[in-house]
Amino acid sequence: MRKLVASAIALAASAFVAVAPTASSAKTITLCWAAWDPANALVELSKDFTAKSGVDMKFEFVPWPNFADRMLNELNSKGKLCDLLIGDSQWIGGAAENGHYVKLNDFFGKEGIKMDDFMPATVLGYSEWPKGTPNYWALPAMGDALGWTYRKDWFAKPELRAEFKKQYNRELEVPKTLDELTDIAKFFQGREVDGKKVYGAAIFTERGSEGITMGVSNFLYPNGFKYQDPKKPYSMEGFVNSDGAVKGLEAYKALYKCCTPPGYTDAYMGEGLDAFKSGQVALQMNWFAFFPGLYKDEKVGGDKIGFFVNPKGAAGSGSQLGGQGLSVVSYSPNQKEALDYIKWFANPDVQKKWWSMGGYSAHKAVLNDPGFAKTAPFAADFLVAMGQVVDFWADPSYAQLLLAEQKRIHDYVVADKGTAKEALDGIIKDWTKVFKDDGKL
C-alpha cells in the first residue's frame, strides 16, 4: 500500500521504538515499517526468529502520514537506522536504481527461496525492477488490495429489503457491479436506520498524498483504463483517457456527489474507518489490511459486518494493489543477520503463522491451501482481489506522477473543475512531461 508521497507532505512526528533489544543478545537488527496493527503482529511473530537465531529485533514504526517522508529521507541520506525495511511498492524502482536496496537474486538462489512460491501479483508489485524481469529487490511481505465493507445487519432488515426490491427490482445483496454499488449507496443516503441518519458510502477523496488516486483506480480499472499501451511503453493516448476510463471517472464523481457523508472532501483510510465504525455509512472502501480489526470491532464487527471484493465494471474486474515487500537496506552494517531474517520469514510455516496473527501472507502455501477461504470471513474475497489487482507506476519518478494525478482527479471530482475527459487528458500531459524529463520519451 503506497501510503503518502515523500514530497507531498511535511516531515512530522518522529518514529517510535516498538521493542527494545535485550542486553544478552550479541546482535540486534532494526526493522522499519509503518505503525499499524499488522506491524504489531510482526513484533509478536518475530520473537520466534530471535528464539531461533539469537538475534534480537528492534522495530522502528512510523505513523502512516509520516512514513514515506521519514523512510525515503532515511534512504536518500544513506542512513543506517534500518537493517530491514518494509517499503511501499512504488519505492522499488527508485530504491533499486539508486542503490538503496540489496539485490536478492543470488541470496534467493543460494537459499532455495523461489519467487514462484509467491502470488504473481505480489512478486510483480513488491519485488521486481524492472517490471516483468527476474530482478528481485524484496520478498513479498504484506499482501493487500482494495476491498469493501458493508453493514450486513442493515442489509438484513426486512423493511429495507422490501423497499429496495420495490425500488430497484432486485434483492438488497452484495453488489456484483459498480452500478449496483452506487444504487445501494443512493438507497441508504440520508436514510434513517436504527433512529440515526446514515449515508451511502465512505470513499477516498484525499488530495495531499495518494488517497483519491487509490480510490478512483477501482472505478477506472474495471472500465478499461490502462496506464500505457501494452505494446508501446509510456504511450498513453487512448489508454489513460479511453472512453471507458472517462465513464469510470464520471461514475466515481457521481458516487462522491450523491452518496458520501457531509464535508467528505479530503478523506482517506482513517476517515473511512471512523465513518464505518461510528455507524455513519452503509458501505466503505478500504484496504483488506484493516478488515481483521474491523471484524473484531465491538460495535460494527462480528455479525454486523460483511466484506466484498471490488465489483465489476463495463470492461471486467480490477482492484487497486496495496501491500509491501521486505528489503535489506544496502547501508546496513548487519546485512547477514537481515538476510537471515528474510530466509526465516520466507518459510511456509512462518507464513502460515503470519496469516493467523493478522498479517497478509503472499505465499502460495498459505493462499492456495484448500481451507484458506474459510480461515476468515474476508479470506475468500482477498483471494479474488489478489487475482485482479493493478498497481500504479513504480518508476523512480512515481511521486511526481502520483501528485499530478492527485491534483487532476481531485480538481474534477471534488472541486468541480472541467470534465472527466479534460482531467484524464491533463494527466497524460503531466505524465508525458515527467517521462520526457526522465529521457523515456
Q: Are residues 253 and 377 in the same domain?
A: no
Q: Are residues 244 and 215 in the same domain?
A: yes
Count of domains forming the chain: 2
Query: What's the full length of the chain, in residues?
Result: 441
Grid coordinates given for 367: 493462499
Of the candidates 297, 320, 343, which is a domain's last residue? 320
Does 165 have pLDDT greater than 80? yes
Does 406 have pLDDT greater than 70? yes
HEC letters along 102-118: CCCHHHHHHHCCCHHHE
Q: What is the dihedral of CA 277, 10, 4, 433, to 10 degrees?
A: 140
In a domain, 438, yes or no: no
In a domain, 9, yes or no: no
In a domain, 437, yes or no: no
Per-residue pLDDT band for 1 (boundaries 50, 70, 90) equals low
Q: Are residues 186 and 312 in the same domain?
A: yes
pLDDT at 185: 98
State which H helix or E strand residue 149 sits in: strand 139-151
Q: Are residues 205 and 269 in the same domain?
A: yes
In a domain, 84, yes or no: yes
pLDDT at 421: 98
Q: Which domain holds residue 24?
A: 16-144+323-390
| Planar angle of CA 64, 68, 73, nearest 5 degrees | 140
pLDDT at 17: 43
Q: For residue 425, with 0-12 CB atoms within 10 Å meaning exposed, 13-18 middle and 19 or more buried, which class applies?
A: middle
DSSP 267-335: --HHHHHHHHHTT-EEEEEEEGGGHHHHHT-TTT-GGGEEEEEPPBBTTB--EEEEEEEEEEBTT-S-H
In a domain, 416, yes or no: no
Q: What is the dihedral of CA 257, 259, 263, 267, to 10 degrees?
A: -100
- Note the pLDDT tens digit of each residue in 29-58: 999 999 999 999 999 999 999 999 999 999
Of the candidates 299, 320, 341, which is a domain's last residue? 320
Q: What are phi and psi of 405, to 5 degrees?
A: -65, -40
Q: Are residues 285 and 361 in the same domain?
A: no
In a domain, 399, yes or no: no
Output the average pLDDT for the chain.
94
pLDDT at 361: 97
Does 5 have pLDDT greater than 50? no
In a domain, 429, yes or no: no
CATH number of the domain residue 63 falls in: 3.40.190.10
Query: Where would I find the H helices in 145-289?
Result: 152-155, 158-168, 178-188, 211-220, 243-259, 269-277
Q: Are residues 100 and 167 in the same domain?
A: no
Rounded percentage of the chain residues whose pLDDT exceeds 70:
94
ω into 130 cis (within 30 of 0): yes
Point out which residues pair with 136 in neighbouring strands. Answer: 128
Please give the residue that has the higher pLDDT: either 212 or 64: 212
311/305 Cα distance (integer angstroms) = 18
pLDDT at 19: 45
Helix, coil or strand: residue 60: strand
Does 15 have pLDDT greater than 80? no
Q: Are residues 173 and 188 in the same domain?
A: yes
Closest CA to 274 of 289, 259, 290, 288: 290
In a domain, 197, yes or no: yes
Q: Are residues 140 and 192 in the same domain?
A: no
- Note the pLDDT tens digit of each residue in 248-263: 999 999 999 999 999 9
- Note the pLDDT tens digit of each residue in 362-404: 999 999 999 999 999 999 999 999 999 999 999 999 999 999 9
pLDDT at 26: 74
Closest CA to 58 of 341, 325, 293, 336: 341
327/139 Cα distance (integer angstroms) = 7
Q: Are residues 278 and 366 in the same domain?
A: no
Does 335 have pLDDT greater than 80? yes
Q: Are residues 315 and 278 in the same domain?
A: yes
Q: Are residues 228 and 340 in the same domain?
A: no
Grid coordinates given for 120: 504473481
pLDDT at 12: 31
Grid coordinates given for 248: 469510470
Q: Are residues 176 and 197 in the same domain?
A: yes
Helix, coil or strand: residue 147: strand
